[in-house]
Structure 1
Amino acid sequence: MMQQATLMKSSVWSQTRTQPSVLIGVGNDHTKQYGIRFVRDFFCQDELTKFTLFHLQHAKKLQLFGTNERSASAKETVAEEFLARTGEQLSCLITAQTSLKQVGISSNRVSLLSRLQTHSKAWDLMEEAANGNHDALVLGKRGKSWFESMINGSTDITKEIIERSCARPIWLAPSSIHGRRNVLLCVDGSRSSRNITEHVAQVVAANPMHTITVLHVAPGKKYTTASPSVAFLNKQSRNQRKAQCFISKTSHQVVADAVALLVANGVKEDAIRTQMAHSNDPATIIMETSDQGNFAVVAMGRSGTGNSFMRHMLMGSSVAHVWKKLDNACLWLSC
């Protein structure tokens, strides 16, 4: 395997950092940097989060004239020399960095990284997200196509790639969030639900722009109840108490546990909202709530129910449905 060729880094931070670190896949097409657009809109007032802009160079495009007959090691040397000479001129990375600067994300919070593609792009992105100790991987349109292959059980997606994709949360960015704000956190009491709750807290706790709405959808006849604050869990009006008799104690506990976990991870109580619903079609409730609340992010645990490898490592049916239909908010997923 070719050694990683790092072009440049405009900042280096400690791996023992407390600030979130986000890896953003950057392609060659300047007009389709969906991940960059999302970061611009969502983090423009965040002062802690660090970003690595990551570009993969296809090895075949780096072979210079006369290298076809050379040995593999010679080709590696030529390609690395090519990267070293042209790295600072990779316009896609420079353009992405400039775009972030325009909304106030300073250079010391942004690192630029490019290396040769050694496996599939999906595998290399997962590898960098895991080995680089990043807290999330942001994917755009091509990431959506790859994830759709996972949902559909495509045979060219290997078990190793799927396992890599569970190493870090994945953010699937839309073309634009159209000025949307805040996070809709969908919880069900599962392990993956707890993981995404902790992730949301880590990323959003220090961002004054956004609130977090904790949503739980229990099976049953469609019914929804919401409140403007965490006080909903403890202090309710008479009509609210009557309405909530339809929501089980288990559902209340799922929401209460998620709120407690957010607070324990640094989120202020006045930044948390809660909402509970009954429905046998949770994906529809999630989509309706996202649209009605104009949320920038929908966050969910990725794993389905059951013990099989595919159910655990891929997606539950509700997550798959939300992913296919969601086109105006960023979807955050965690195993």
Structure 2
Amino acid sequence: MNILITGGTGFIGSALTKHLKNQHKVTVLSRHPSSAQKQLGFDVKIISCLNDLNDLDPFDAVINLAGEPIANKRWSKRQKSRITGSRWHITSTLVQLMHTSNNPPSIFLSGSAIGIYGRQGNETIDESFTDHHDEFSHQICQRWEELAEGKPDNVRLCIMRTGIVLGTKGGALKRMLPPFRFGLGGPLASGEQYMSWIHINDMVKAIIFLLDHPTANGVFNLTAPSPCTNQEFTDALGKQLERPAEFRLPRFLLRLLFGEMADLLIYGQRVVPSRLHEHGFHFCHSRLDEALASLLARPKTK
């Protein structure tokens, strides 16, 4: 297949690209073509702007992962605009290009996040859940998904509602590791909020699964089948690193440090991947302790 990937230099996108380029022809959209070429290799084609394309006829599939990281900065008005615009504009442009194509890609995998559900306490949430809590994370994803759903009727669409992706090369875990390794890690706020996570290898595997299975369409939660509370995650990470993890950050301090963005840390969702299971997907890392061990275990010495 000839595959176009947006967000191909990000944490998830770069891992995905490195898998796909061995079997497919891959083109990646990047604002920084030179650094993207060095990062991904010269067997990946780089384009700098979707406006350089008149249509998407050359491509068999589009994987849309682009978006300003949601949890890297405080949510100022300007940052909120970056977060929404980076997702909405690219998705809208891709859909427009599909409509101008004589032979549009047959597959469109478009990103979203479990933030669409909003804060949901302890209730178990799968793809059939519709009683969403209206807050910024929900508003981002709702419009993001609506734009993707505007694709042509003959294009198969999978919307990927991604949870917390665990890996050492990016994402939440990479940011958490330094304080935890110094014994300064601990639960956030009450610690009772749920974290719906997925190992980076299963994330890549799930995207390829959706790409390769023609019966897969609609919304999919890309999370492991065993969500955990923040306290459980903290305990598991401390145990894996053999460090104490009792340095609790109270709610008021999270609000002081991160403003409205602290909502992502204080609240959560207990999300399960029902539709992936229904389509026959098998996780390699379904338990948190095993997932962390696979990422962080020290090499054995002879």
Q: TM-score, normalised by structure 1?
A: 0.27
Please identify the structure whose Cα radius of gyration is greater: 1
Higher RCO by CA contacts (8 Å cutoff, separation 6 or greater): 1
